[in-house]
Each structure stands twice: as structure tokens, then as C-alpha cells.
Amino acid sequence: MSKVGQQLYLSSSPHIHSGETTVKVMRAVLYSLVPACAVAVYFFGLSALLVLLLATVGCLATEAVCQRLMGQPVTIADGSAAITGVLLALNLPPTSPWWLTLLGAVIAIVIGKQVYGGLGSNPFNPALVARVVLLISFPVQMTTWSAPAPLGSGLDLVTTATPLGAWKNAVMLTGQAPVELQGGLTQYFLGNMPGCIGEVSALALLLGAAYLLYRRILTWHIPAAFVGSVVLLSGLFWLVNPAKYPSPVFHLLTGGLVLGAFYMATDMVTTPVSTRGMLVFGAGCGLLTVLIRLFGGYPEGVSFAILLMNAATPLIDRYLRPRTFGVQAGKG
């Protein structure tokens, strides 16, 4: 008779697990942001590094304080607050004063996340909540852009306008697109343009996103639908009046589109869970982004678009449930 000495686990199936954990998922997202952070530091120097550090430490500290105050276990080691911090920094101008960055961190964690119950419960992307609050409250600091001054170039940071801002100004003043926008599409792609810390290099962001796709943390649905709808809609306007409206490629490479489509709009907590829902979510983000960019008061609309679609997520989840196996379409 085989004897069983120690404790035996009794449970209902399954008895094995993939080994994937929330911490591993969060860590992978952080790794994927390394190239974008590195490029930002290269183009904007120590000031970008300072914003990154302040935002991350600020988010971690705020989360710890919140959880301590509420008598909950402190879970800052799960990586989610760190991600919010890094993403917030990537959504701030490189010249953000220290108090602005810290205030953003507090807003992101307190108003964006903890008031709803912490990880998994927040309806809006916490980093974007903070960015938009700051943008509305401190428009000057939030729209003071500096031209990139690559490390070792000896250049000082010089105040200038983002490509999208320059276009909007020109259209408002003359009704026409500016004759020549600073830089060019290749420079935009590499990140050599003014903008938020993380908005500048599409290349670095795509590298990180490729890693997340490979790790299956990201699925293609939201980014593809987002980018696709931006290309379609902006392409339509551009074909009708290329003298006024910028090309789809310009839309893709400038502003926060790549950052938004691959990182902000793909935040798992605040986006739909079904495949069809994700496609609708992404398409809605793209649609709103183009409309705000072309006709809104702000030159950039990515953040607003994503937050609006975050608000629509419960509705999307409710009405776009996957068709259950064995159930005919339209019957449940």
C-alpha cells in the first residue's frame, strides 16, 4: 500500500497552469518601453530622463501611500503603477517642470486608478487621465515643445512647435497647410521631431510593440483598427484637398498616434475583451483622433479619442459579445 504522508492538494481541475502571471505581463510591457525611453533620452537629454524617473517614482509612491491609507496590501511590485508612470512620462513634454510631472503621477494613480478600486477596476487609462487633466489645467507648460537636441550635438533645447501644431496654426491662419513642415517623414519616423517624450520615435515604439506581439501580450486588433481607420479617414480628406489636409503618413508618424495605438489604446484593463469589440474600439479611436486633429480645438486628439472610447468600453463589451459556439448568429 502506498502511503501518502504529507499534505495532498485537493482541487477541481485544471491541475496545471501556463505559468503566466500578471507580474510577468507587466514586466514585459516595461521591457517593451525601453527602446522608446532610450530614444527619448537620446533626443531630449537629461530632462527627459528626469521626467521619466519622477513620473515612475511618483506613481509608485502614490500607489503605496493610497494602499497604506486604505489598509490594503501594498502591491506596487506588480509593475502596474510603474507602467502608468512610464506611460505618463512618455505623454509629457520633455521640458515638463518637476511639479507638473509629480502632480500628473498623483492624478494618474489617485483619480485614474485607486478611486475605482485599483488594478483592474479603472475605466479610463490612468496615464491619459493625468495627461488630459494637466493639458487642460496647465496648457502653457503642457504645450511648450522643444526641438530635439541629440546627445553630443551640443545643441540646447529650443522651443518650437510640433508638426501637428504647426499644421493647425497654419490652417487656422491661412486655411492652407504650411508650405513646408520642419523635418521630414523619415525624421519623424526616427523620432527627430518635437513632441512628447514618447511620441517622437515611431521606430522605437514599433520595436517594443513587436516584442509584445511576439509575447502575445498585445494582439493586433486594436492597433490595426486604430491605424487603419486613421489612414482611411485622413486619406479621404487628403485626396479631396491635399493643399489643406496632411497625408495619412504625416498623421501616422506625428503626434501620439503610434504611442496611442500600440500602448495607450491597448491597455487591457480599459479596453474591450472580445475580438470584435477590440476592432470597434480601435476604429473608434482612429475616427475620433482624425476628427479632433482636423476640426477640433487641439492639434492632437489621440488622448481624447482613447479616453472617449474607454468610456464606451462597457457598452461595447455588452453589445459585442462573441457568438457562442453552437448558437446561430443574432440569437445570443
Partner 1 sequence: MCAAHDRLTEMKLKTFAGGIHPPDNKQWSAHKAIEDCPLPAELIVPLAQHIGAPAVPCVAVGQQVFKGQEIGSAKGFVSVPVHAPTSGEVVAVENRPHPWGTSLPAIVIRADGEDCWSPELEPADPGELSPEEIVEKVRQAGVVGMGGAAFPAHVKMSPPPEKQIHTLIFNGVECEPYLTADHRMMLEEPERILQGVALLQFVLGVERVVIGIEANKPDAIALLTEMCAGTPVEVIPLEVKYPQGAEKQLIAAVAGREVPSGGLPMDIGVAVHNVSTAAAISDAILDGRPLIERICTVTGPAIREPKNLRIRIGTLLSHLVDACGGLAEEPGKIVLGGPMMGFTQLGFDVPATRGTSGLLLLRHEDVPLHPEGPCIRCARCVQACPMNLLPTTIGAYARRDLISEAAEYRALDCIECGSCGYVCPAAIPLVQAIRYGKAAILAKKRKA
Three-state secondary structure call for residue 121: coil
CA distances from 269 to 130, 257, 266, 311, 314 (A): 16, 20, 9, 12, 11
The long-range contacts involving 165-171, CB below 8 angstroms and separated by at least 24 positions, are 165/299, 165/300, 167/246, 167/250, 167/299, 168/293, 168/299, 171/244
* Interface segment toward partner 1; rule CB under 8 A; list 3-11, 64-72, 234-242, 257-265: 3-11
273 near partner 1, rule: CB under 8 A:
yes
Closest CB 201 distance from partner 1, rounded Å: 26
Grid cell for residue 332:
445570443
Q: What angle do CA 258, 263, 264 make, to 5 degrees?
A: 95
72 near partner 1, rule: CB under 8 A:
no
Closest CB 326 distance from partner 1, rounded Å: 4
12 near partner 1, rule: CB under 8 A:
yes
Closer of 184 and 322 to partner 1 (Cβ): 322
Closest CB 18 distance from partner 1, rounded Å: 5
CB 133 within 8 A of CB 107: yes
199 near partner 1, rule: CB under 8 A:
no
Which residue in 156, 326, 329, 330 binds partner 1 (CB under 8 A)? Answer: 326
* Interface segment toward partner 1; rule CB under 8 A; list 20-28, 85-93, 194-202, 238-246: 20-28
Q: Which residue has the cell 491597455?
A: 267
CB 110 within 8 A of CB 70: no
Closer of 272 and 299 to partner 1 (Cβ): 272
CA distance 36 to 281: 25
14 near partner 1, rule: CB under 8 A:
yes
Closest CB 15 distance from partner 1, rounded Å: 4
Q: How many CB atoms lie within 10 A of CB 251?
A: 26
CA distance 162 to 169: 10
137 near partner 1, rule: CB under 8 A:
no
CA distance 209 to 136: 29
219 near partner 1, rule: CB under 8 A:
yes
CA distance 47 to 318: 44
* Interface segment toward partner 1; rule CB under 8 A; list 2-10, 98-106, 292-300, 301-309: 2-10
Closer of 48 and 278 to partner 1 (Cβ): 278
18 near partner 1, rule: CB under 8 A:
yes
Which residue in 48, 58, 67, 78 binds partner 1 (CB under 8 A)? Answer: 78
Closer of 3 and 173 to partner 1 (Cβ): 3
Residue 183: strand pairing partners: none
# chain residues binding partner 1, by CB under 8 A: 49
329 near partner 1, rule: CB under 8 A:
no
Helix 46-69 and helix 80-90, axial crossing angle in degrees, nearest 10: 140
Closer of 9 and 295 to partner 1 (Cβ): 9
Which residue in 10, 69, 243, 329 binds partner 1 (CB under 8 A)? Answer: 10
H helical segments located in the chain: 22-32, 34-44, 46-69, 80-90, 98-110, 126-137, 139-142, 163-174, 185-190, 202-214, 221-240, 248-253, 257-259, 275-295, 302-319
121 near partner 1, rule: CB under 8 A:
yes
Closest CB 272 distance from partner 1, rounded Å: 8
> Residues interacting with partner 1, by CB under 8 A?
1-2, 4-22, 24-25, 78, 80, 118-121, 217, 219, 268-271, 273-275, 278, 317, 321-328, 332
